[in-house]
Structure 1
């Protein structure tokens, strides 16, 4: 799965979140992280956020993780970890 971390919430625009929500299946989220469903492709996500200035976000691989190895806890209570590749 891919995760999109919003690193700069001040410069991030709500319209970008709205477009992501309309165009992609979101598996889970927090206030600053979207976890995309399997099958969402990096290139398609980048086509939507390609004009967002670098440094505002980070796109990376994530996987479900046990609570004791949790990098991110989503709103559902599910834990996710950055994939170590």
Structure 2
């Protein structure tokens, strides 16, 4: 796996830190975030175009807006790897 660490929440306490990686081989983003609570998860399911809810193999996570630059960097890395 070509996993490249991109960054963590700049306001992290180093124990509970949303993190972003770029898997440059798979051309995918890998995100660690705060698990959504039951209310947000239910709202996501209710507003999803997919029927049947969120599969057990997937999760809704929260990422703070302050991480947008980190996510952009990861997107750029994945995009570059996809065109090579």
Q: Please give the TM-score of this superposition, normalised by the length of structure 1.
A: 0.28
**Structure (1 or 2) with the greater helix fraction:** 2
Q: Which has the larger radius of gyration?
A: 2
